[in-house]
């Protein structure tokens, strides 16, 4: 599978069937994230893989209740990967300050997409989730309140792995040549 085929195959999965993910598959996903580039090589990320059923069920219950219920599908995933934003190096923070850009978020986008594309290669289905009860997640996993959690990735086995069409802007709308 070449890279374009891989990214065409990746799609957000919101319907999972039960199944246990082999540890070595998750390890390769984390390894793919670990190798990601980041501003000043800060690697401002930590991945908490939650797959023990009672811990995961409890986490999902708290993370995706109330106004976050639209993402309750994630309860059915085999694991939830909670992505904690870690501190960037001083040089990266300085650059971010002067440029007015939170490069640590760009970094997180890169690393998580590495993880997600590796999962796709492993035959696993995933979904990027940004809408969840962050406070409850921190409480549940004993993450210090000062930390920021921007993303949870649900990962597991797709109920229906059939490819949907990707709805995207036209290439002429997003690019130009000079």
Query: Of the candidates 16, 21, 19, which has an alpha carbon nearest to the alpha carbon of residue 49?
Result: 21
* Polymer length in residues for the chain: 178
Query: Of the candidates 148, 93, 86, 92, which has an alpha carbon nearest to the alpha carbon of residue 111?
Result: 86
Of the ranges 13-21, 48-56, 154-162, which one interacts with its own copies (CB under 8 A)?
A: 48-56
**Cβ-Cβ contacts under 8 Å for 22 (sequence gap 6 or more):** none
Burial of 121 (0-12, 13-18, 19+ CB in 10 A): middle
Query: Counting contacts by CB under 8 A, is residue 99 touching its own copies?
Result: yes
Q: Give least dist CB 17 to its own copies, A.
A: 22
Task: Report the C-alpha gap between 14 and 71 in whole angstroms.
Answer: 8
Residues in 119-178 that interact with its own copies by CB under 8 A: 121, 128, 130-131, 134, 141, 148, 150-151, 166-169, 171, 173-178
Query: Of the candidates 27, 28, 36, which has an alpha carbon nearest to the alpha carbon of residue 106?
Result: 36
Query: Counting contacts by CB under 8 A, is residue 78 touching its own copies?
Result: no
- Which is closer to its own copies, CB of 162 or CB of 167? 167
Q: Give least dist CB 171 to its own copies, A.
A: 6
- Which is closer to its own copies, CB of 18 or CB of 135? 135
**Cβ-Cβ contacts under 8 Å for 35 (sequence gap 6 or more):** 114
Residues in 18-47 that interact with its own copies by CB under 8 A: 26-28, 30-37, 39, 41, 43, 45-47
Q: Which two tokens stand for residue 31?
A: 């390894």
Residues at the site binding its own copies, with contacts judged by CB under 8 A: 1-4, 6-8, 10, 12, 26-28, 30-37, 39, 41, 43, 45-52, 55, 95, 99-103, 105-110, 112-114, 117-118, 121, 128, 130-131, 134, 141, 148, 150-151, 166-169, 171, 173-178
């Amino acid at each position: 599978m070449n890279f374009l085929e891989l990214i065409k195959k990746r799609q957000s999965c919101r319907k999972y069937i039960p199944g246990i993910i082999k540890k070595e598959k998750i390890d390769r996903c984390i390894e793919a994230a670990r190798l990601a580039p980041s501003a000043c090589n800060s690697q401002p990320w930590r991945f908490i893989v939650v797959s023990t059923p009672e811990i995961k069920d409890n986490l999902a219950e708290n993370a995706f209740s109330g106004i976050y219920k639209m993402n309750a599908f994630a309860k059915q995933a085999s694991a939830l990967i909670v992505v904690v934003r870690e501190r960037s190096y001083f040089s990266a923070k300085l650059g971010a300050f002067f440029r007015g850009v939170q490069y640590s978020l760009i970094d997180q986008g890169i690393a998580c997409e590495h993880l997600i594309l590796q999962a796709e290669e492993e035959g696993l289905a995933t979904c990027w989730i940004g809408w969840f009860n962050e406070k409850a997640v921190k409480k549940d996993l004993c993450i210090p309140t000062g930390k920021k959690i921007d993303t949870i990735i649900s990962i597991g086995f797709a109920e229906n792995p059939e490819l949907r069409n990707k709805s995207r802007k036209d290439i002429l709308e997003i690019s130009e040549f000079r």
